[in-house]
């Protein structure tokens, strides 16, 4: 059973992973059929043998947790004593909703990547050092990250001592020498990103668990596939082909349903037996909740933060808005979706059932900071009309569509 985790309480040791070059975006591999997942609580622990820490006794684990808490309190006291800093203190990792973002998802590094591929790593590193005071341009995840930080700012106003906030981690296989330019770029845009993981050519996937990652966004589809297989909610970022304005006051997140929020069980029936059998199956199982998909935990995270605003009578001015944008038909297969969300105790702000119509025009109206979908033709349609899309390589749909855009030049 493949568990997609929302928050991890233990800190297992990071595992070694196959080496990869800086900013690598090597070939795409076919994922195995996903296991059916339970639709229960998202408070789940990953059972990946490479990350699990089985050698510690309960007493040793308790002692390690006490030491970690002591270290955190010391770091907190040091940060709080820096009275001149204008940066908010990062939340405690165990309490935070951690979003790990690769450097090529956060920034536009297409030119940099070309230098690496054509001239090698030494020339690439030298180029970064020579241009370390030149800020990188925003990448596909940039405005999503900015929106997360806007939510944090609102939460700190309402709950000054609360640490259930978004924590952004830069997760990159770049070399440490490149770190200065990344730091300078982050400071240039006023981003609050304090935790970095720079692995010097090694794959960073083994560190995702150690960093207590809730969501991983990368421009490298192969690494995203690794993370999905490890049970971590992940998606490959693609830049929109048009510039569109984004809300700077409200985080907008749009989700596909099947194989994203939900498992691909219903999609399997469509692919293997056709729409008529699918409609029949959904009506017969209307009161049976769908199993959870990769992004269910992240929707749950968003819902918890929304409730914090509702508790302060901020429902009408909530800085988070969620959307379900599905190709399902409402009358024939929509009830099961809505009843599944209800059974999970989750709310969705807007549910859009398109009955097979293109999603791109609807997304233009929504203008989400990010749109998650498992089908590349929906990703490409969203891109063409100006939506930043994130491909979730999960489910039977991966057998039918390659996890890369038709035009590789738009990939960051």
CA–CA gap between residue 408 and residue 387 (Å, rounded): 17
- 133: tokens are 């005071």
Question: E strands of 55-96, at which residues?
Answer: none
Interacting residues of 184 by C-beta distance below 8 A, sequence separation 6+: 132, 133, 135
Residue of 112, 220, 256, 301 marked active site: 256
Please confirm, yes or no, whether 256 is among the known catalytic residues: yes
Helix (H) or strand (E) holding 38: none
* CB crowding 240-267: b at 16 or more within 10 Å, else e: beeeeebbeebbbbbbbbbbbbbbbbbb
- Number of Cβ atoms within 10 Å of the Cβ of 276: 9
CA–CA gap between residue 268 and residue 259 (Å, rounded): 10
* CB crowding 163-190: b at 16 or more within 10 Å, else e: bbbbbbbbbbbbbebbbebbeebbeeee
The tokens 């038909």 sit on which residue? 329
Residue 333 sits at φ, ψ, to 5 deg, of -150, 10
- Angstrom CA distances, 153 to 84, 136, 150, 163, 316, stand at 19, 24, 5, 12, 17
Catalytic residues: 256
């Amino acid at each position: 059973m493949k568990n997609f985790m929302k928050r991890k309480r233990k800190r297992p040791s990071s595992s070694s992973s196959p080496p990869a070059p800086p900013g690598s975006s090597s070939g795409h591999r076919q994922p195995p059929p996903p296991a059916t997942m339970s639709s229960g609580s998202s408070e789940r622990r990953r059972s990946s043998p490479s990350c699990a820490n089985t050698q510690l006794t309960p007493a040793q684990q308790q002692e390690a947790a006490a030491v970690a808490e002591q270290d955190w309190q010391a770091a907190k006291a040091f940060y709080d004593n820096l009275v001149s800093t204008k940066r908010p203190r990062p939340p405690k990792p165990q309490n935070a909703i951690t979003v790990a973002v690769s450097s090529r998802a956060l920034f536009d590094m297409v030119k940099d990547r070309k230098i690496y591929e054509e001239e090698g790593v030494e020339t690439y590193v030298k180029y970064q050092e020579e241009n370390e005071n030149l800020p990188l341009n925003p990448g596909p995840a940039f405005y999503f990250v900015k929106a997360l930080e806007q939510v944090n700012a609102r939460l700190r106003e309402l709950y000054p001592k609360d640490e259930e906030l978004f924590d952004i981690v830069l997760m990159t296989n770049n070399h440490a020498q490149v770190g200065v330019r990344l730091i300078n770029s982050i400071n240039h845009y006023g981003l609050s990103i304090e935790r970095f993981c720079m692995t010097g050519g090694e794959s960073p996937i083994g560190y995702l668990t150690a960093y207590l990652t809730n969501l991983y966004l990368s421009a490298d589809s192969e690494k995203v596939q690794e993370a999905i297989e490890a049970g971590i909610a992940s998606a490959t970022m693609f830049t929109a082909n048009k510039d569109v304005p984004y809300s700077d006051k409200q985080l907008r997140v749009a989700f596909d349903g099947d194989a994203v929020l939900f498992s691909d069980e219903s999609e399997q029936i469509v692919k293997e037996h056709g729409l008529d059998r699918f409609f029949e199956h959904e009506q017969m199982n209307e009161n049976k909740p769908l199993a959870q998909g990769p992004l269910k935990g992240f929707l749950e995270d968003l819902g918890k933060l929304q409730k914090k605003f509702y508790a302060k009578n901020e429902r009408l001015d909530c800085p988070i808005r969620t959307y379900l944008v599905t190709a399902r038909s409402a009358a024939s297969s929509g009830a099961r979706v809505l009843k599944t969300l209800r059974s999970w105790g989750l709310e969705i702000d807007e549910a859009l059932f398109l009955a097979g119509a293109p999603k791109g025009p609807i997304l233009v109206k929504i203008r989400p900071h990010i749109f998650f979908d498992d089908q590349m033709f929906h990703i490409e349609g969203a891109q063409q009309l100006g939506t930043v899309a994130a491909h979730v390589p999960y489910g039977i749909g991966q057998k039918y569509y390659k996890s890369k855009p038709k035009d590789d030049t738009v990939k960051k």
